Amino acid sequence: MIEIEAYDIVLISMITYMSGIFTGLGLCIKYKHKLFRSKSQENLSHLQGPGHTSSTPITSQDVGHTNYGHYPPVMASAPTPSCLKEVVIRTTE
């Protein structure tokens, strides 16, 4: 019978581990455009308007203050300082 030493087991384990790592990295590099595509970026491109066909991200474009007539402007919703009241927490022991 063939004797399997500890070095053989370690060598086989290292080879299979490294081949798995390199296969995963290779597939990740090959399909990175499909794996890391952002769905929110696609949704943002739909909000830009029907005539806009650029594939560049919305964050890199100069959109300005135009609204394209589709969506209401975003307004601040924080309470005014006059509405704020003091909150006192007391503990009784």
Q: Is the pLDDT of residue 83 over 70?
A: yes
How many structural domains is the chain composed of? Answer: 1
> Is 65 a domain residue?
no
Which residues form the domain of 32? 1-48
Residues 38, 29, 17, 12: what is their CA dihedral angle, to the nearest 10 degrees?
160
Reference 51, options 70, 73, 65, 64; nearest CA is 70
84, two tokens: 């704020």
What's the pTM? 0.38
Instruction: Let me know: does 61 contact 45? Beta carbons within 8 Å.
Output: no
> Is 21 a domain residue?
yes
Query: In angstroms, what CA-CA distances link 88 with 28, 48, 84, 91?
Result: 55, 47, 13, 10
High-pLDDT (> 70) share of the chain, % = 62
> Is 10 a domain residue?
yes
Instruction: Name the more confident of 47 and 16.
Output: 16
> Is 59 a domain residue?
no
> Is 20 a domain residue?
yes
